[in-house]
Structure 1
């Protein structure tokens, strides 16, 4: 595989870990450790770090080193506002499409989230949470909307991996809210799906700032 392909694969893997909150703000990304973990060269790692820095997901320290960029309360507020604008619009498109296959796919993601939490695979649960919201956007079929969402690098900001067992209520609440959104879409209840989504995002903002 070419070096640029390895660099892109590396970038996608680390980006996924950051957006799903498996790599939290302030964590140092050690070049040699990631090269060994992903079985790629340090050149590929370095290129991936540069790309992530360009997307403001990581930053380089004054004395060297690459770190996951910390999210401030103001960042969290802006992220929540952006997600609400984009995802409410996406729900409106899905409501008009009434695609049963999309509903089934969202239900499968919910099942995956539940299974991951029950097994204690909290990193996998966080990735399933990200997939749930990405699927809502992707299923609109609107390429420009998808591009805006992807380019925004919207991270998951409320589910925590540290001391995960102490955050079980958050995981359970997230599961319930996701399923409530899907059920509302299935029933054709647009208002309920939007109200639940906004409640879900607002709760995430509150819990992240309080953490």
Structure 2
């Protein structure tokens, strides 16, 4: 394992075992989800993604969050996801330090390329990890939600490498609505990009997302189950 891979591994481990921050307890508000346009597929041959880092969430750049305060503080994440031994594997941990929202996955139900063959072709380098997660605020359990996180390894998009990207949504299992949405943005950035625009000029740092090549064990023979894309963008 090279030094860069070791740093990523340490960062993911630290985030997965990290604690919550204090915040005000609020109640989610549901709004209808926007339907996904279809076409997403499990990569074939399948690969896998690892990552850890942070984004910022400025006021007005998150949606459907029921009054959760967003004040340009960091949200940290650590993740791994992909195909292995005929199924899906992984873990996602996410903490929004603006309000104490904590997402910890308990199952992985899908790993997909959300837009194969899309134009511009850079969208093909996106990978979505889907599953179910326990969600809490300030240590108080809110419920189990479906989740979908979007990752983009920008080094797979162009050279010199621009910023990697991350976005997340939570779907209410009872209503099917998207109750929390942070559209995809560059690491260390506070605003969604909306498309495959690169972000080489934003704040330095922010972590790293790595799209790894497939190997003989990274295959699946089951279908993916993901909540509808409620507006994650690229």
Return the index of the structure with the highest Cα Rg: 1
Q: Which has the higher strand share?
A: 2
TM band (smaller chain): under 0.3
Give the TM-score normalised by structure 2. Answer: 0.24
